[in-house]
Amino acid sequence: MNKFENSIPLRAGTSALLVTVSAVAIVVTAATASAQEPYWLEGITILATKTEERAIDSLAAISTLREQQLREIAATRSAQLFTGMPGVAAEATAQDPGTAINIRGLQDFGRVAVIIDGARQNFARAGHNGSGSFYLEPELLAEVDVSRGPVSNIYGSGAIGGVVSFRTKDADDILRPGEQWGVATHGEAGTNGATGLGSIFGAVRAGPNADFVLGGTHRQLDDYEDGSGNKVVNSGQTVSTGLGKATFRPAENHEVKATGIYYDADWVNGTPGVSNVIRDSRAKNSTAVGQWTYSRPADRLFNFSHSAYWNQVDVETLATFVTPGFEGFYGAVGNRAGYTIDTIGYDGNNTSYFDTGPFRHALTVGGDIFEDDVSNRDPGGFGDGYNPNGKRRVWGGFAQLKTNYSNWLQLITALRYDNYSLDGVSTSGQPLSNGGDRVSPKITVGITPIEWLTVYGTYAEGYRAPAVTETMISAQHPGTPPFANFPFLPNPNLRPEVGKTKEIGINIKRDDVLVAGDRFRMKANVFRNDVDDFIETATISISGAPGAPCPFVDIAFPPGPDYVFCTQYQNISKARLEGVELESIYDRGDWFAGLNAHRIRGEDLTGGDPLANVPPDMIAATFGVRSADRKWTAALRWAHYGPKKRDDLPDHTSSGPDPELANVTSSYNLVNLYLAYQATENVVAALSVENLLDETYKVYTHEYNSPGITVKGSLRVRFAGGPPPLEEEKPIRQ
């Protein structure tokens, strides 16, 4: 490792799901859980409305993962966290530790807002691993919240697909009530490339008004083999991280938190004998966040949160092999290239509570602003144009009114204003700029006709400004003429996207269904998202002699060697994404079972083509058991993903080889086994077997086959000091 510095009617889709669904969630077992303490769909979240509520009660498509669930998923990469989660897919490549999130067929360039401890992750480098990757070590995490749909009314500009919010470990995740200090350690070792993981986190409570967390992780992954025994070369990586937090409570109900996160990964990109370039690569992701919150149930006027953050992602590469003749694209051997994006931002909001007769209201008003500064360094290659330099500034404000009448009616109305400006210079020296603004509405109505059943309907709009790369890209794609060698053209006239989502959903929360003490939770929905001015890459055929400038564009790329087509980000007048989603769990303590599924379709309504990033159909099932003393837990998870055929993919070809053939994938079944033993209150041993059937498969949009059977063993040990733990539950404002 390098150590340098076919669209279907919504009704038809619903019928198909009701006929075929037999799915389940991610393995979410707990060695110490009981039927009285389920946590599926019970996680407290603020993602939908910025006011506290349980995911099962939210009038939105919300999924949550909490610390115990994260432990049992035992993800070696962030993409694994979302396996089996309805409506969500993760794009990754074996030769890069970054992950791009897809929600309901939307991904890249901020369509899904990714937030770590309040800091936006806006890294968006064009390439084969999505154009919106983030770098995050799963071992740092305590919580993951996912909201599907355009929640940009309250979470900032761009999230027409949804929001993924990660929270790293706090003192309360290491210490139990009453403890003054604690150390949590975790060691893991495995087969098939999952070589080893070590982590240690320490926490100290310096009295009731201050606590501190310090820790880090180190993970070593080696090259893995797929289910057929073929080694995926350069699929290994080394990742080290550090985490520090300081929390102060200077006055009653006030909390000030400072967070620092550092991520450092080394890997090699490229396959000998196949790739035209092989590069040692290093990614550094640095985040600093300052937060000030005030929450007091008795104060009906002020309950606020303010967050300021800085995030920098820097990816540097060193060319160690270049095929002769390709030096113009990648530079000669020894060429160092880099891509850096700095994001600074602020997010703040306040919620006030008041009543008007029998109606109870929560009014939340807030605003946010961020700036992306993109800097590219490629002295010997084409990277400066492929990922151009530039700045983007986005800001906005919102007002949301959440109204409850009795226990059966809830109404949420919101308006958001967004504004953006974008500036840069093309590789030919021509100034490029873009900008715009818009007001986006949202309304949700929820009715609870029976105590355990809620039905809701939502109409929401979201607004996404084009990114620097989409607007200013100006480079020649590396390859052999005539089909692999073509130019990317800038488009300074690119318009923002506007997503308009209609959604109908149901929440079921029922206890004592079959036996006393059991619990059943389910969230299901149907949705349709009509996107105006959807941004997609378009292929432009060249009329005239080879090498002529590409027509139909404001800025023609200089004549090149035998071009037969050009590529440019362009607006599709109208695109539609629609589908159905289901998430559920039944838990009676000694055993549990669940269901999860999705079916999503996307179409370019202007040209009739399917949209490229729609994930395949997903059906899964899990069954688990617990011993009477809750020391043993075993769970078996099965997830089935459908195929992506050529007819499911857009027709980008003008002539020559079909680029979409590489994305055609077969259906596959993924079976995972998890076993845990709680030896003592502070010692847990676990064994997980991934891809138990050793199936050879490739995830849609991934470049390489996924790992074959992988066995991992882990041991968690915790030390702590202080009085015995106290049982307490944080109240939720009703």
- Residue 249 has which token pair? 């409570």
pLDDT at 41: 75
Give the span between the Cα atoms of 386 and 323, in whole angstroms: 20
Query: Which two three-digit tokens encode residue 711?
Result: 């066995």
pLDDT value for 657: 59
Q: What is the pLDDT of residue 644?
A: 92
C-alpha atoms less than 13 angstroms from C-alpha of 13 in its C-beta half-sphere: 23
| Strand, helix or coil for residue 323 | coil
Q: Between β-strands 254-269 and 277-294, what pairing exists: parallel, antiparallel or unpaired?
A: antiparallel
What is the rounded distance in angstroms from the CA atom of residue 541 to the CA atom of residue 362?
55
DSSP conformational letter for 546:
T
Q: Three-state secondary structure along 470-501?
A: HHHCCEECCCCCCCCCCEEECCCCCCCEEEEE
The owner of tokens 């880090």 is: 216
Q: Are 511 and 587 in contact (CB under 8 A)?
A: no
Chain centre distance of CA 78: 9
How many alpha carbons fall within 13 Å on the CB side of residue 697? 21
Angle among Cα 10, 699, 151 to the nearest 5 degrees reads 50
What local confidence, expressed as pLDDT, does residue 39 receive?
Answer: 52
* Alpha-carbon span 475 to 337, nearest angstrom: 15
CB 190 within 8 A of CB 230: no
Q: Which residue has the tokens 């033993």?
A: 677
Q: What torsion, rounded to 10 degrees, do the Cα atoms 165, 167, 168, 169 define?
A: -160
Structure tokens at 203: 């926490």
pLDDT along the chain (734 residues), means of 10: 39 33 31 42 83 91 88 90 94 91 90 93 69 89 93 74 95 94 97 96 94 98 97 96 98 97 96 92 97 94 97 95 85 90 95 96 95 85 66 91 96 94 72 86 96 96 86 69 65 90 96 93 97 85 52 43 71 94 94 95 90 93 91 93 90 59 88 94 96 95 94 96 61 49
pLDDT at 427: 58
Q: Give the pLDDT score at 607.
A: 83
Query: CA triplet 431, 344, 402: central angle to 5 degrees?
Result: 110
Residue 28 class from Cβ within 10 Å (0-12 exposed, 13-18 middle, 19+ buried)? buried
Cα–Cα separations (whole angstroms), residue 338 to 280, 469, 489? 12, 15, 21
Under 8 Å between Cβ of 192 and 224: yes
Domain boundaries, the chain: 10-721
| The pLDDT of residue 546 | 46
Query: Looking at the domain that runs over 10-721, which CATH code has it been given?
Result: 2.40.170.20
For residue 210, how many other CB atoms are within 10 A of its CB? 15
Contacts for 408-411 with beta carbons within 8 Å, 24 or more apart?
408/447, 408/448, 408/449, 409/445, 409/446, 409/447, 409/448, 410/59, 410/444, 410/445, 410/446, 410/447, 410/448, 410/456, 411/443, 411/444, 411/445, 411/446
Encoding tokens for residue 564? 């037969």
Q: Tokens in use for 254?
A: 């006030």
